[in-house]
Amino acid sequence: MSKITFIGAGSTVFAKNVLGDVMLTPALAGFELALFDIDAERLRDSEQLLNNIRETSGSNCTIRAYSDRKEALRGAKYVINAIQVGGYDPCTITDFEIPKKYGLRQTIADTIGIGGIFRNLRTIPVMLDFAKDIQEVCPDAWFLNYTNPMAVLTNVMTSVGGVKTVGLCHSVQVCVPHLFDSLGMEFAGVETKIAGINHMAWLLEAKKDGVDLYPEIKRRAIEKQKEKHHDMVRFELMLRFGYYVTESSEHNAEYHPYFIKRNYPELIDRFNIPLDEYPRRCIEQIKGWQSMRESLLANRNLEHQRSHEYASYMMEAMETNKPFKIGGNVLNTGLITNLPKEACVEVPCLVDASGVTPTYVGDLPPQLAALNRTNINTQLLTIEAAVTGKREHIYHAALLDPHTSAELSIDDIVAMCDDLIEAHGSWLPAYK
């Protein structure tokens, strides 16, 4: 029996989507779906829910929950990762509240920025523990990473952990339909090309019947910017730098130094920026989970329709050798020629029985590569901090972050990092 292991299976709704998809995929029939999570109650919830779907779908997959991570991984052919280290309380709260004391505001704080740096620092040691187990009990497994910060964690698992890893993010899949819907344009038949880094990849081409659609996209975007809407940051970036970016405006507001500024508070309203957005989402999800939990677990006739998540389609392609195209996060092995070779990039990839094969992109437009590099600088210094255990590299990562460095002095950035290290306590390793 082949095995798919889901780490972080207590993310019940996401596990339902991904593993529900697996159960509806004939090429994956008969696989064992191995569930692991450090939260025993959430693990039981996911096991029950997936068994409900198994019954209604007629799947012959086997669902098994494990209390031992290494045993969950043993013999796995595919490993899906969806963990969050530290959760909302205490770690997400810490990531937002301490920077706020220094006057540094954030929206999501899960990619770069000061919140992204510390989410990385507490997650990397856990991920490298996974890598050790994988090397021992399932060394040929493909590791499908859904956990943020995507670029750094995928990079670490590949370059340090030695695991066959691809990072999967929804932003590439949804950005073009979202853009065309918001502008009232027809999406069917549109050919696109997207590349860059995670959460800051670029819609490089949008054509239909050989016609470049960007002039019309920009014409409509200029009109749309005359009234307030929920994608104003991305439209502003496109009109200034020439290309639409994959991830949402609330994310990109904190990836650049232009939008969240203490000395220009009017920008928050002008660009409709939702400060502290991620904590609000966490609170709403926590409140809503109990009622959702009861309705999901009590529904013995729970049905599932295959979602747009990449994972099942990728595994199907590897099992059947029928190619499937994704936007994947992989190491930059000469794929984007004007970004650092040490970086993790997001590029079109072909998936088949040979695994995941990234495609060559070449040079990005110079202004886009320059924007990407501002984020890559912080990513690579964060990895350096985690691998060497040197506190000074945490400072370097924060000092090079575009938003943080635009708002705070060197002394305040260093002091804020010290406060965050102290507040995280045992969630972080010791730094020298």
The domain that holds 110 is classified in CATH as: 3.40.50.720
pLDDT at position 279 is 97
pLDDT at position 162 is 98
235-257 average pLDDT score: 98
Question: Does residue 208 lie within any of the structural domains?
Answer: no
- Between the alpha carbon of residue 70 and those of residues 37, 83, 267, the distances in Å are 12, 16, 49
Helix H or strand E segment including 405 = helix 402-407
**Are 306 and 18 within 8 A, CB to CB?**
no
170, 230, 251, 396: which one is catalytic? 170
The CA distance from 157 to 193, in Å, is: 27
- Between the alpha carbon of residue 256 and those of residues 112, 372, 407, the distances in Å are 10, 10, 11
| 299 vs 206, higher pLDDT | 206
pLDDT at position 44 is 96
Question: Does residue 412 lie within any of the structural domains?
Answer: yes
Neighbours of 422 (CB within 10 A): 11
Question: Does residue 92 lie within any of the structural domains?
Answer: yes
pLDDT at position 137 is 98
The CA distance from 178 to 193, in Å, is: 15
Question: Does residue 52 lie within any of the structural domains?
Answer: yes
pLDDT tens-place string over residues 139-154: 999 999 999 999 999 9
pLDDT at position 295 is 86
Neighbours of 365 (CB within 10 A): 14
The CA distance from 317 to 315, in Å, is: 5
329-351 core/surface letters (b: 16 or more CB in 10 A; e: else)? bbbbeebbeebeeebbbbbbbbb
Q: Please say which residue of 122, 138, 169 terminates a domain.
A: 169
Bridge partner residues of 223 (DSSP)? none
Domain that holds residue 396: 380-427
- The pTM (predicted TM-score) of the whole model is 0.97
The answer on pLDDT for 245 being more than 90 is yes
Dump strand ranges (E) for 198-264: 200-208, 211-212, 244-245
- Between the alpha carbon of residue 280 and those of residues 12, 108, 119, 169, 264, the distances in Å are 20, 10, 18, 22, 24
Which of the four pLDDT bands, split at 50, 70 and 90, describes residue 291?
Answer: confident
| Residue 362: DSSP 8-state | B
The CA distance from 171 to 248, in Å, is: 8
Question: Does residue 196 lie within any of the structural domains?
Answer: no
Dump strand ranges (E) for 211-281: 211-212, 244-245
* Alpha helices (runs of H) in 68-191, residue ranges in sequence order: 69-73, 93-101, 113-137, 150-159, 171-183
Side chain identity, residue 18: V
Question: Is 170 noted as a catalytic residue in this protein?
Answer: yes
**Are 154 and 165 within 8 A, CB to CB?**
yes
Q: Please say which residue of 169, 184, 217 terminates a domain.
A: 169
Which residue, among 242, 247, 255, 249, has the nearest Cα to 271 in the 3D structure?
249
Which of the four pLDDT bands, split at 50, 70 and 90, describes residue 298?
Answer: confident
Question: Does residue 65 lie within any of the structural domains?
Answer: yes
pLDDT tens-place string over residues 85-97: 999 999 999 999 9
Question: Does residue 57 lie within any of the structural domains?
Answer: yes
Neighbours of 100 (CB within 10 A): 13
Sign of CA dihedral 277, 235, 173, 325: negative
Domain count, the chain: 2
Question: Does residue 296 lie within any of the structural domains?
Answer: no
Instruction: Write down the mean pLDDT value for the chain.
Output: 97
Q: Please say which residue of 169, 198, 226 terminates a domain.
A: 169
The CA distance from 385 to 374, in Å, is: 17
pLDDT at position 15 is 97
- Between the alpha carbon of residue 364 and those of residues 81, 242, 271, 347, 360, the distances in Å are 30, 12, 27, 11, 11
209-237 core/surface letters (b: 16 or more CB in 10 A; e: else)? eeeebbeebbebbeebbeeeeebbbbbbb
The residues, ordered by sequence, that sit 6+ positions from 308 with a Cβ below 8 Å of its Cβ are: 170, 173
CA gyration radius, the chain: 21
Give percent of the chain above pLDDT 70.
Answer: 100
